[in-house]
Structure 1
Amino acid sequence: MTGLAAASLALSIAVAGTGVPAQAAETKRATETASPQLFAFDWVSLTVAVAGYLLSGSGGGGNLEAAINEIKLAIEQSKTEIIAQIDAIAAAEVEACLEAHTIEFLNIDFMDEFTLRAWAQNATNCATQASAFAGAVQSPQAVDKIGFVIGPIFAIVLAARAQAGFVNGTDLVLQSQIRAYEAVVTKLTPTNCQLIVTSEGSAFYEKWWTCWAYNGDVGRSSPCFGRNCMPNRTTAENQATLNTSRPVAVVALPRLRAALP
């Protein structure tokens, strides 16, 4: 595996539709703190690059150090946005540990060996706690908030473990991240969807799906024509959730699964 340059994550952060009801606007404020800077780095590629070295037993070397340095740079450049999103998490213990590890990660070059190893273990515990939170909480607002920071937090953990020399358990860390993203996809997939059917006599049928995300955003599938046609509901679901962390999780999951041994 070669050195990895930080790449732009091609995600569209847009609100479908125009008018948003007052209640929906209120629920959106926290996720709107996830500024585009938070998406300026492909966190999954950075994580998978470091995990690849650890899982292959390649050890250290310039390529691993370069990948770790890219994570450090990404955290440095987006730490304000990450912390702003963490501050929106309505679970004090999870919020506190995530914010602390985001800040302290930038000081790992100044930690002695003992401190670094203890801190890497604590960071791992914090990330797995965040993953468990995503799986346990029922509120889509809460799941959305944690979904925006799963990428950078697990990148921190893998980089910290690599620098501390922790090889064992890398697959378990990836599995924890996968479970978090699976929870995000499942819990943010719209359940409020309606199949719209229009017809003119018996000869013409037009059908499409309309879905509403938890924050009030609306998605609509492309129409299909004919009595027996069925439009693609997934298209409406994806469009409705463009302004949530769900697209990040959808893109991340197959890449993380492929990284597992």
Structure 2
Amino acid sequence: MLKKMRRGLAAGMLAVVVTLPGGAQPAQAVVDPATVIAVAQQAYALWKEFKGGDKSLEQATQQIIASIESAKTAILSRVDLLAAAEARACARHAVVELADIGQFDAATMRSWAQDVTGCVTLIDSLAATVTDQSAIDQLGFAVNSIGPIALVARARAGFSTQALTAVLVGANNTVATKIDPPCVQQQIAQHSGLRITIRKTCTAGNGDSAFQDVTGHILNAPNFVFDTPRLKTEASRNTSKPLAISVVPLLSAA
């Protein structure tokens, strides 16, 4: 269903922003991003409460496990969309083994914490180098699916978490910056009285798009005003960009 947000008439020009979902995708790619986003945000919030002294490490661990377990299928389905096999494998490993963290002995806990930390740094490195919009989007979901796991693992192993937190903040800033839907403009209609309609469309890597039509006199076409930031925000609403933006304050305050 189209979501229309009218900006109204201004200087004889009509501007309408319309948001469209992406085209048909393979069944495995149909993963509700809202579920993954909500779980990641909750897990980071629980970590922040632990760091702030409002929860014990055990309380935070158990609640983070419960949150991630409640959406494990959705999280793993999203992780499976990663193009990089090594990142996909290590992220799955972290999510699958999380539920058994209470059974790890000290040596296993330390080794596992280092493995999950390595997975975070791998995804961070990939995020810094890839340019494909779809790839950076999936990396954003992946790093935040395992970020809280890595933080808890390091804390339980007796390791510091400051450096890892900095990596997670950096990775999310990278994702938020690099997910930048490209936009195109084209004339879509010609009307009487030398009036034309030009459409600007911005499309995210997941196929979601948003467009805005502006109608006015043909001589004013170079001065047609489009709300490009809004179009980009609407197009990227189901990507990992909103998640990346939302978790940076949680991590920075922890």
Corresponding residue for residue 202 of structure 2: 211
Instruction: Please give the secondary structure, in 1, of the residue aligned with 2:56.
Output: helix
Map residues 93-172 of structure 1 onto 2, 5 A cutoff.
Answer: 93-166=86-159, 168=160, 170-172=161-163
5+ residue gaps, structure 2: 1-17
2:241 equivalent to 1:246: yes
Answer yes or no: is the 8 Å Cα contact 1:48–1:259 preserved in 2: no
Report how far residue 200 of structure 1 moved: 9.9
Report how far residue 259 of structure 1 moved: 1.8
Instruction: Please give the secondary structure, in 2, of the residue aligned with 1:189.
Output: coil
- 1:51 and 1:164 mapped to 2: Cα distance? 18
Corresponding residue for residue 259 of structure 1: 253
Report how far residue 252 of structure 1 moved: 2.3
- 2:108 and 2:248 mapped to 1: Cα distance? 32
Corresponding residue for residue 38 of structure 1: 36
Report how far residue 45 of structure 1 moved: 4.7
Tell me: CA distance 1:221–1:49, structure 2 relative to 1, closer, same or farther (3 Å). Answer: farther
Tell me: CA distance 1:229–1:45, structure 2 relative to 1, closer, same or farther (3 Å). Answer: farther
Larger radius of gyration: 2
- 1:107 and 1:255 mapped to 2: Cα distance? 26
TM-score w.r.t. length of structure 2: 0.74
Map residues 16-95 of structure 1 onto 2, 5 A cutoff.
Answer: 16-17=19-20, 20=23, 25-26=24-25, 31-34=29-32, 36-41=34-39, 43-50=40-47, 53-54=50-51, 63-95=56-88
- 2:170 and 2:22 mapped to 1: Cα distance? 34
Report how far residue 161 of structure 1 moved: 1.5
TM-score w.r.t. length of structure 1: 0.72
Corresponding residue for residue 12 of structure 2: none
| Deviation by residue 1:52-79 (Cα, 9 ceiling, x = unmatched) | 645x6x6xx9533222211110121111
Corresponding residue for residue 5 of structure 1: none
Report how far residue 221 of structure 1 moved: 5.9
Instruction: Please give the secondary structure, in 2, of the residue aligned with 1:16.
Output: strand
| Deviation by residue 1:196-243 (Cα, 9 ceiling, x = unmatched) | 8x9998xx9x99854222344222469799x88955321110111122
Task: Give the number of the structure with larger relative contact order, counting CA–CA contacts within 8 Å between residues 6 or more apart.
Answer: 2
- 2:191 and 2:173 mapped to 1: Cα distance? 38
Seq. identity, %: 31
* Greater strand fraction, Structure 1 or Structure 2: 2
- 2:183 and 2:132 mapped to 1: Cα distance? 15
Aligned length: 232
- 2:22 and 2:145 mapped to 1: Cα distance? 32
Corresponding residue for residue 181 of structure 1: 172
Give the stretch that moved more between structures: 171-180 or 97-106.
Answer: 171-180
Question: What residue identity is the alignment partner of 1:128?
Answer: T
Report how far residue 100 of structure 1 moved: 0.9
Question: What residue identity is the alignment partner of 2:74?
Answer: E
| Deviation by residue 1:14-40 (Cα, 9 ceiling, x = unmatched) | x932683xxxx45x8665324543244
Report how far residue 253 of structure 1 moved: 2.8
- 1:81 and 1:129 mapped to 2: Cα distance? 22
RMSD: 3.5
Answer yes or no: is the 8 Å Cα contact 1:184–1:249 preserved in 2: yes
